[in-house]
Every structure is written in structure tokens, then in C-alpha cells.
Amino acid sequence: MMLLKKAKGASLNGKMIDAASARMAENVVKMDQLINSK
């Protein structure tokens, strides 16, 4: 439930924050996959 509240707050502050956090989340997932694949 905390994640939903944070996402709502980010979208209220503007789309730029949403886009940046989405990109960061994707990068974290990619890095995690790279580390786990070795």
C-alpha cells in the first residue's frame, strides 16, 4: 500500500518525477539481472 501512495504523490508533483523514477526502477532491475546472470 505504501508504494501506491508514493506513486500517487509522484504523479501529483508532475510527470517528470514519474518518468525519472520509472527509468531508475528499470535500471535497478537491469543491474539486478546482470548481477544474477553471472
Q: How many structural domains is the chain composed of?
A: 1
What helix, strand, coil percent values describe the chain, rounded to 5? 90, 0, 10
How far is residue 12's CA from residue 36's CA, in Å, rounded to a whole number?
35
Give the domain extent around 20: 10-37
Domain membership of residue 4 (yes or no) is: no
Domain membership of residue 1 (yes or no) is: no
Amino acid at 32: D
How far is residue 6's CA from residue 28's CA, in Å, rounded to a whole number?
18
Q: Give the pLDDT of residue 9.
A: 53
Domain membership of residue 5 (yes or no) is: no
CB 16 within 8 A of CB 10: no
Q: Give the pLDDT of residue 1.
A: 44
Domain membership of residue 3 (yes or no) is: no
Domain membership of residue 15 (yes or no) is: yes
Q: Give the pLDDT of residue 14.
A: 61
How confident is the prediction along the chain (38 residues), in pLDDT tens digits per residue?
455 555 555 455 566 667 778 888 899 999 999 999 97
Q: Which residues have CB under 8 Å from 18's CB, separation 6+?
A: 7, 10, 11
